[in-house]
Amino acid sequence: MSTWLITGCSTGLGRAFAEEALARGHDVVVTARDVAAVQDIADARPDHALAAALDVTDPQQVEAAVAAATERFGGVDVLVNNAGYGYRSAVEEGDEADVLRLFDTHFHGSVRTIKAVLPGMRSRRSGTIVNLSSIGARRTGPGSGYYGAVKAAIEQMTMALRTELAPLGIQAVVVEPGSFRTDFSGRSLTQSATPIDDYAETAGRRRKENDTSDGTQPGDPVLGARLLVDAVDSGEAPYLLLLGDDAVDIVTGALDDLRTDVDTWAERSRATGF
């Protein structure tokens, strides 16, 4: 069995990932900014679960969580970077401080935890790093430019990481969930403070006050977690793991559209050399 460290376990997919890994017999460090939000998971399986406070924007808390995992279970075998939240804003509306905070949480927060666990994984020549992305990295709708951008950054970083770590026996995986029945479109969704009227029919339609998807999403977090743990346990997880029927449809459609664009301009693209 392996030791997992999962960020953002208080609700949604993060909690489902933790509960599924524990059900399979793995040891799990369950984390949240407010440790009380995950203490029930640890209390239910005291021999295999450890609750730890972790704000991924705080380097000291990142180091402390990995140290606690090492002290209790001997090290981290699987890191799941799940912590994060949604942000909707037309590009022009986006507040710089909000965007910096978004990137610090999603991108730099993931990098912090990766750097903290890699020395141990390299010494053991084994491990898996799972970075949560989004279908928004493939097809970004109005109002999701910043969120799609931070997830695309995570995917490209993970692609490089996968090639860097493969010779060391360590896997790096991107997970793109579709729409799952979590609070992502509710409590976890933030947005620009001041909308601009000219974007009312584009980005404005996807503001929280106009979004009716919360509670009706098609994805089941339990089944999504089951697939993720299956992939990690197989030892042959792909670079890109899609969760959800909608994720498969959206990503394959985006790839088809991209291929059409490339093919349409390929001859002229090739004719630009000396």
Domains observed in the chain: 3-270 (3.40.50.720)
Taking only the tens of pLDDT, the chain with its 274 residues reads 899 999 999 999 999 999 999 999 999 999 999 999 999 999 999 999 999 999 999 999 999 999 999 999 999 999 999 999 999 999 999 999 999 999 999 999 999 999 999 999 999 999 999 999 999 999 999 999 999 999 999 999 999 999 999 999 999 999 999 877 666 655 678 989 999 999 999 998 888 776 666 666 767 899 999 999 999 999 999 999 999 999 999 999 999 999 999 999 999 999 999 9
In single-letter form, the type of residue at position 104 comes to D
Whether 63 contacts 71, CB under 8 Å? no
φ, ψ for residue 30, nearest 5 deg: -100, 130
Q: Are strands 49-53 and 78-81 parallel, antiparallel or unpaired?
A: unpaired
The phi, psi pair for 131, rounded to 5°, reads -115, 120
State in Å, rounded, how far the first CA of the chain is from the last one: 57
Active-site residues, by number, are: 133, 147, 151
Bridge partner residues of 122 (DSSP): none
The set of residues, in sequence order, having a beta carbon less than 8 Å from that of 99 and lying 6+ positions away, is: 87, 146
Nearest to 21 by CA among 206, 208, 232: 232
Q: Which amino acid is at 247?
A: A
| Residue 84 to residue 220: CA distance in whole angstroms | 19
pTM: 0.93
Amino acid at 199: Y
Helical ranges in 74-141 per DSSP H: 96-103, 109-124
CA–CA distance, 34 with 151 (Å, rounded to integer): 24
Residue 170, SS3 per DSSP: strand
CA–CA distance, 263 with 273 (Å, rounded to integer): 18
> Measuring CA to CA, which residue among 4, 2, 16 is closest to residue 225?
16
Short-list 171, 175, 168, 176, CA closest to 233: 171
Q: What is the DSSP string of 15-66?
A: HHHHHHHHHTT-EEEEEESSGGGTHHHHHHSTTTEEEEE--TT-HHHHHHHH
**What does the alpha-carbon distance between residue 82 and residue 73 come to, in Å, rounded to a whole number?**
21
